[in-house]
Structure 1
Amino acid sequence: MSAYARPDLSDIKLGDWVDRRLPSALRPYTRLARLDRPVGIWLTLFPCWAALIQASQGFPDLRHLFIFSLGALLMRSAGSTVNDIADRKFDGHVERTRFRPLASGQIGVPQALMFLVAELALAASLLFFLTPYTRLVAICVLPLVFVYPLCKRFTYWPQAVLGAAFNWGMLMAWSEVIGKIPAGALLMWLGAIAWQIGYDTVYAYVDVRDDRRLGLKSTAILFGKHGKACIGLFYAMTVAAWSVGGWMVGMSLPYVIGMLVIAAHLCWQTWRLDLSRPEVNYRLFLANILTGVLLAAAAFAGTL
Structure 2
Amino acid sequence: MQGNAPTPDGQVADAPSGNWVDHYAPAGARPYLRLSRADRPIGTWLLLLPCWWGLALAVLADQSPRWEDAWIALGCAVGAFLMRGAGCTWNDITDRDFDGQVARTRSRPIPSGQVGVRSAFVWMCVQSLLAFAILLTFNRAAILLGILSLLFVAIYPFAKRFTWWPQVFLGLAFNWGAMLAWTAHAGALHWPAVVLYLAGISWTLFYDTIYAHQDTEDDALIGVKSTARLFGADTVRWLKYFLAGTVSLMAVAVILALMPKASFMALVLALAGPWAMGWHMAWQLRGFDHTNGAKMLQLFRANRDTGLIPLIFFSLAAFV
Q: TM-score, with normalisation over the residues of structure 1?
A: 0.93
1:41 matched to 2:49? no
The residue number in structure 2 matching 1:51 is: 54
**TM superposition shift of 1:15:** 8.1
**TM superposition shift of 1:268:** 1.3
1:227 matched to 2:235? yes
CA contact (8 A) 1:163 1:194 kept: yes
Structure 1: which 5+ residue stretches go unaligned? none
Query: Residue by residue, what CA displacement relative to the aligned partner does 1:22-64 show, whole Å, maximum 9, x if unpaired?
Result: 3321111010111110000111112211211111227662111
The residue number in structure 2 matching 1:144 is: 152
Q: 1:197 to 1:107 in 2, by over 3 A?
A: same
Match of 1:289 among 287, 304, 313: 304
1:254 matched to 2:269? yes
Structure 1: distance between partners of 2:147 and 2:22: 35
1:272 matched to 2:278? no
The residue number in structure 1 matching 2:182 is: 174
**TM superposition shift of 1:5:** 6.6
The residue number in structure 2 matching 1:133 is: 141
The percent identity for this pair of structures is 38
CA contact (8 A) 1:12 1:99 kept: no
CA contact (8 A) 2:55 2:182 kept: yes
**TM superposition shift of 1:254:** 0.9
Structure 2: which 5+ residue stretches go unaligned? 259-265
Q: 1:275 to 1:253 in 2, by over 3 A?
A: same
Flag as ranges the 4+ runs of structure 1 deviating above 3 A. Answer: 4-9, 12-17
Matched pairs, number: 302
CA contact (8 A) 1:228 1:275 kept: no
Cα root mean square deviation, aligned = 2.1
1:204 matched to 2:207? no
Matched residue type, 2:96: R
Structure 2: distance between partners of 1:19 and 1:69: 22
Structure 2: distance between partners of 1:257 and 1:191: 15
The residue number in structure 2 matching 1:66 is: 74
Structure 2: distance between partners of 1:83 and 1:212: 19
Q: TM-score, with normalisation over the residues of structure 2?
A: 0.89
Q: 1:64 to 1:16 in 2, by over 3 A?
A: closer
Match of 2:93 among 85, 89, 112: 85
